[in-house]
């Protein structure tokens, strides 16, 4: 018997329900009064989890009435596979339709075309930023810190043994070669998304006021609950004093 085990996840009405109902129909025909059908391949209870309404044990009201019941008679034994194929095909097509319907309903939640267009690369002029200063610009709604690091900050960042860091990365790998004084990081704490404050904390870098994470002058995590370094956004130097972020 291929009994459809009911599960707790009841489906609501709508397209998804079609498949469920169809799936549930099959076992009816394998029910108590029906001719036992040849197996339709492995159909363990787990595999039939799409069924919302179990019918096991419940003999339909009209089932006992000869000729008017739902039970198929010997004729079905002659072509059992053809009928099975029809039910499986209908269920499969309905399932494909339900899945295809879900796609646009989910896809609409992705950023729309105007948001994507607004997320185009931006150019930032570095000339006004004096040594030791930093600025915050927004790209795709995220704050980007651009720090003009002092010699001291660079030296501090490079003198730390990389292996001792929670998220090991060299300072060189986090800046562009030849532009070592410029640190460009996304100013979002990798713990839970707060904005760290620049020039605070014990490492001459960033301090997150929410939960006390501290980043060094290379934007690497040094202390606190944050698991990773401040990420470096994609950027390139258009000229010595201009970068393009994105």
Partner 1 sequence: MSGPSDFQPTNPALKWIERRLPILGLMHSSFVAYPTPRNLNYWWTFGAILSMMLGVQILTGVILAMHYTPHADLAFKSVELLVRDVNYGWLLRNIHASGASMFFLAVYIHMFRGLYYGSYKEPREVLWILGVIIYLLMMATGFMGYVLPWGQMSFWGATVITNLFSAVPYFGESIVTLLWGGYSVGNPTLNRFFSLHYLLPFVIAGVVVLHIWALHVAGQNNPAGVEAKTEKDTVPFTPYATIKDAFGVSCFMLFFAWFIFYMPNYLGDADNYIPANPGVTPAHIVPEWYYLPFYAILRSIPNKLAGVVGMFGAIVVLAFLPWLDNAKTRSSKYRPLAKQFFWIFVVVCVLLGYLGAQPPEGIYVIAGRILTFCYFAYFLILLPLLSRIEKPRPVPNSIAEDVLAKSGGKVVASIAIALVVAGSVFAGSVQNARAEEHSDSPPAQKWSFAGPMGKFDRGSLQRGLKVYKEVCSACHGLSYIAFRNLAEAGGPGYSVAQAAAFAADYKVKDGPNDAGDMFERPGRPADYFPSPFPNEQAGRAANGGAYPPDLSLITKARSYKRGFPMFIIDFFTQYQEQGPDYVAAVLNGFEDKPPAGFTLPEGAYYNKYFPGHAIKMPKPLSDGQVTYDDGSPATVAQYAKDVTTFLMWAAEPHMEARKRLGLQVFVFLILLSGLLYFTKKKVWANAH
In the complex, minimum distance from the CB of residue 82 to partner 1, in angstroms, rounded to a whole number = 9
Q: How far apart are CA 4 and CA 179, in angstroms?
A: 66
Q: Which helix (H) or strand (E) holds 24?
A: helix 15-29
Instruction: Write out the catalytic residue numbers.
Output: 211
Residue 238 contacts partner 1 per CB under 8 A: no
CB 200 within 8 A of CB 186: no
Question: Which residues make Cβ contacts (< 8 Å) with residue 180, sequence separation at least 6?
Answer: 149, 154, 171, 172
Q: Cα–Cα distance between 37 and 80 in angstroms, integer?
A: 7
Q: How far is the CB of 213 from partner 1 (least distance, A)?
A: 30
- Residue 44 or residue 68: which is nearer to partner 1 going by CB? 68
Q: Which of 8, 44, 127, 130 binds partner 1 (CB under 8 A)?
A: 8
Residues 53-72 that bind partner 1 (CB under 8 A): 53-58, 60-65, 67-72
Minimum distance, C-beta of residue 112 to partner 1, in the bound complex (Å)? 4
- The 157-186 site mask, x for binding partner 1 (CB under 8 A), equals ------------------------------
Q: Spell out, one character per residue from 24 to 53, where the chain touches partner 1: x when CB under 8 A holds, - when not.
A: xx--x-----------------------xx
Evaluated on CA atoms 216, 222, 225, 226, the torsion sign reads positive
Which among 16, 92, 104, 21 is positioned nearest to 55, based on CA atoms?
21
- Residue closer to partner 1 by CB (options 55, 195) is 55
User: Helix or strand or coil: residue 56?
Assistant: coil
Q: Are 156 and 164 in contact (CB under 8 A)?
A: no
Binding interface with partner 1 (CB under 8 A): 3, 5-8, 10, 12-15, 18, 21-22, 24-25, 28, 52-58, 60-65, 67-73, 83, 86-87, 89-90, 93-94, 96-97, 100, 104-105, 107-110, 112-115, 117-118, 120
């Amino acid at each position: 018997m291929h009994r459809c085990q009911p599960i707790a996840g009841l489906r609501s009405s709508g397209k998804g329900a079609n498949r469920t109902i169809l799936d549930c129909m099959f076992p009816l025909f394998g029910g108590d009064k029906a001719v036992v059908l040849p197996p339709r391949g492995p159909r363990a209870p787990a595999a039939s989890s799409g069924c919302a309404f179990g019918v096991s044990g419940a003999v339909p009201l009209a089932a006992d009435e000869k000729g008017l019941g739902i039970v198929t008679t010997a004729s079905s034994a002659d072509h059992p596979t053809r009928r099975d194929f029809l039910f499986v095909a209908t269920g499969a097509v309905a399932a494909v339709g339900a899945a295809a319907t879900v796609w646009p309903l989910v896809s609409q939640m992705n950023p729309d075309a105007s948001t994507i267009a607004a997320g185009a690369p931006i150019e930032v002029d570095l000339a006004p930023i004096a040594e030791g200063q930093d600025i915050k610009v927004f790209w795709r709604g995220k704050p980007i810190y651009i720090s003009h690091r002092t010699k001291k900050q660079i030296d501090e960042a490079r003198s730390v043994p990389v292996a001792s860091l929670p998220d090991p990365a060299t300072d060189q790998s986090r800046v562009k070669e030849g532009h070592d004084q410029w640190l460009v990081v996304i100013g979002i704490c990798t713990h839970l998304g707060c904005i760290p404050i620049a020039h605070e904390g014990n490492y001459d870098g960033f301090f997150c006021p929410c939960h006390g994470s501290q980043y060094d002058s290379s934007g690497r995590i040094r202390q606190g609950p944050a698991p990773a370094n401040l990420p470096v956004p994609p950027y390139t130097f258009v000229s010595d004093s201009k970068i393009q972020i994105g």
